[in-house]
Structure 1
Amino acid sequence: MDQRISFLSLAVRDLEASRRFYVEGLGWTPDLEVEGDVVMIMVGEHVVLSLWDREHFQAEVGTIAEGDGVPPFTISHNVATEAEVDEVLATARAAGAEPVHEAQPREWGGYTGYFADPDGYRWEIATNPGPIGHKVLP
């Protein structure tokens, strides 16, 4: 098996609200849309973010676990500078992201902040000064 990820699929409660957030709010361009089912957005050279209606997701994947708290993973968008971190967080805030956690220096040397999309999925906006951080930049 190749060491790569091709799709990141998020089960969303309100597909149209998620579409508005990502497409109109963040300014991303969908590559495929099936009304009421899925919106797919190329987010990397070989990576697709798939926003999938929860009911359709469950029909294929299985029952979604419910509970309080934050989904147990983050999606990270890395940029080159601290100023870019702040700019992306401001864009997310303008798109309606709640809550937005302001960026701050981290003990490991980076600078990161978080926002939540309409379903509470946490996006980390980061600059990472280490070698792995440089590998992920375009």
Structure 2
Amino acid sequence: MESLQSTQTAARHGNHPDGSVLPDLVTVPARQGLEAVDILRRGAAPSVGPVLHDDASDTLGFLVPPGTADGWDMPGSACTQTSGRGLRLVASPRAEGADWLLPPDDAGPVTDPAVLRQALGEAARLIEAADNCR
């Protein structure tokens, strides 16, 4: 049964040529994402994986475990299955208009979605407080 589930997950999420399942991508506005990166990096157990910065849409994308998109429901963000579409898990070459904020070589494994959800919530509250002080 486990092999059937693994096969179904691989079919839904796409496989890397080496056979590994590709991560999902949580996309947020750059300002909130940068705050979240800071929160994650200074936490008790710093835990932020590779992060993409898309200049054109002013967003950050956090790599998270495959399957995260199936249950992601955080307002102000989106989580998509990459299925390998345009995602290269190498530091270079990069796509035009996008670059790694934290490249796969420098970052650890993908970001834990529960930890990311908390950091994004905290980042949103910090931004709201700062905007209300103006």
Q: TM-score range, shorter-chain basis?
A: under 0.3
Higher relative contact order (CA 8 A, sep 6+): 2
TM-score, scaled relative to structure 2: 0.28
